[in-house]
Amino acid sequence: MPRKGSLLRELPILVVVALAVSLVIKSFLVQFFYIPSGSMENTLQINDRVAVNKVPFISKSINRGDVVVFRDPDNWLPEPYSADGNKYIAKIKEGFVAVGVLPNPAKQYLVKRVIGVAGDKVECCAKSKKLMINGIEIDEPYIFAGNTPSDTKFNVTVPEGKIWVMGDHRGASADSRFHQDDINQGMVPTSKVTGRVIGIIWPLKNFGLVGSYSSLK
């Protein structure tokens, strides 16, 4: 049985090792994010916490139908602000950011579904009111009930190194459609992609995997 003094000496080492492991996981494997809006309903709900796969080659393996988290491509979001006046709470949050429990507020993130990848021609809409990819109508069972695939017409071709993204709640998502006048013409550079959402971890009632879906094979 280890002595109390031995445990006390080993405790700082254990804490450092735990933090190091957490940082490695955050940097290369999994990071956790909070969903602040309804733009991905009903796939993701407001206040859901999701786990994101950060495998280093993610930017080379993004597929249609993936739900991805990415850094703001070109001022899609307003400037962040902090309402925390308590310095102790602020320090605790900084610690959570450091170990990957909370995302860095200085780096704004969004979550959307990949609709088009490099080389795809994405168009709205066919006579059936469905989106078309490379001239083929697609089914999108994940769209929020009562929404149309898009109320905004567009016809784009996705360049190399970019993706075209849209929220599942089409009527409440300021996605690629609404940023076609920015530097990326509404596209998201794959270099901005943090990873693919693999599951909801909180609240427990929403716990489960988040799969990819593409009707275009």
pLDDT for position 3: 52
Tell me how many domains the chain contains: 1
Which residue range forms the structural domain that includes residue 57? 4-209
| Residue 155, pLDDT score | 97
Which segments within 4-159 are labelled E, that is strand?
Answer: 30-34, 49-53, 67-71, 109-116, 121-124, 132-133, 136-137, 154-157
Rounded to two decimals, what is the model's pTM?
Answer: 0.78
Please indicate, yes or no, if residue 25 is contained in any of the structural domains. Answer: yes
What is the average pLDDT across 192-205?
92
Would residue 112 show up in a list of annotated catalytic residues for this protein?
Answer: yes
* Residue 182: Cβ-neighbour burial (10 angstroms; 0-12, 13-18, 19+): middle
Domain assignment of residue 215, yes or no: no
Provide the pLDDT for residue 90: 57
Reported confidence tier of residue 179, pLDDT bands at 50, 70, 90 = very high
Tell me the pLDDT tens digit for each residue of 87-118.
666 566 656 555 555 555 445 899 999 999 99
Residue 106 pLDDT: 42
Determine the pLDDT at residue 78.
76
Find, among 154, 62, 49, the residue nearest to 103 by Cα.
49
* Inside any domain, residue 43: yes
Percent over 90 (pLDDT), the chain: 59
Annotated catalytic residue, options 39, 150, 173, 176 = 39
pLDDT for the residue numbered 108 = 85
Record the tokens describing residue 34, joined without a space: 């909070």
Per-residue pLDDT band for 77 (boundaries 50, 70, 90) equals confident
* Catalytic position from the list 26, 54, 112, 192: 112
For residue 216, being part of any structural domain is answered with no
Confidence of residue 217 (pLDDT cuts 50, 70, 90): low
Asked about 39 being catalytic, the answer comes back as yes
Is residue 18 one of the residues assigned to a domain?
A: yes
Residue-wise pLDDT for 147-170, tens only, equals 999 999 999 999 999 999 999 999
103 lies in some domain:
yes
User: Which CATH number covers residue 164?
Assistant: 2.10.109.10
**Is 184's pLDDT higher than 80?**
yes
